[in-house]
Amino acid sequence: MNMKNIVFVSLIAVLSVTMSSNAFAQCDVESFSNKALKALQPGFTFVKSYKIDGKNGVRKNIDYTCVFSKDTSYMIRMEGKDGGPNGIVAVLFDSNRQELATSYVNNRFFPGWTYKCKATGIYYLNFSFKESQSYCGAAVLGFRR
């Protein structure tokens, strides 16, 4: 292989790897997670953060499983690239996939919700996008006994 080919192949390889890893790297999840953390109300202790990276619209739904405990309140707070919670909907389902809570009510995006849990078990947290421009954000979960 001559020098020209080596340079060409190296260039392709570097470009390919760089482009593929950066194509969806525009969502700075950590900064939104930090913003959401600040929105967590006093009295709630941070336990987990959730990446809401819709990969520029490729991913429509982002699902997480959680174990919630009875006699505990759980608060979700979201921040996204569209500004505040705009464009992101957080829905909580029970283990039978029955909807319990949503952050989109009366055509309005709320920054999250507080679920006063009385039943220990598996729950599902779904993040989806509605009229989103960025498909990018993060959420945090806090608890209070």
Partner 1 sequence: MKKLYFMFILALLLGCGNNNASTEEVSEVVTDETATTAQVSDDIISDILQAIPSPLEISFLIKEVGTKYNSTNLNSIDLVSNYNTSYQQALNLGTYATDLGYANLYGKNQDVLSFLNCVKKLADNLNIGQFFDYETIRQLASNSGNVDALLQLTQQNFEKINYHLREKKQENLSILILTGGWVEAIYLTSLVHQETKNKQLKEKIGEQKVVLEQILMVLEIYKTKPNFSTLINDLKELQKVYNGVEMKTIVGKTRTVEKNGELIVETDTQTVVNISDDDVQKITSLVKSIRNKIVK
Among 26, 31, 63, 133, binds partner 1 (CB under 8 A): 63
Contact 105, 54 (CB under 8 A): no
109: amino acid identity, one letter: F
- 127 is a contact residue toward partner 1 (CB under 8 A): no
Site string for partner 1, 77-106 (x = CB under 8 A): ---------------x-x-----xxxx-x-
Shortest Cβ 38–partner 1 spacing (Å)? 10
CA 144 centroid distance within chain: 21
| Using rule CB under 8 A, residue 21 touches partner 1 | yes
Query: 53, 62 in Cβ contact below 8 A?
Result: yes
Find the angle CA(131)-CA(134)-CA(140) to the nearest 5 degrees: 95
Rounded Cα distance between 48 and 51, Å, is 10
36 near partner 1, rule: CB under 8 A: no
- Name the site residues for partner 1 (rule: CB under 8 A): 1, 5, 8-9, 12-13, 16-17, 19-21, 23-24, 37, 45-50, 59, 62-72, 92, 94, 100-103, 105, 110, 112-122, 143, 145
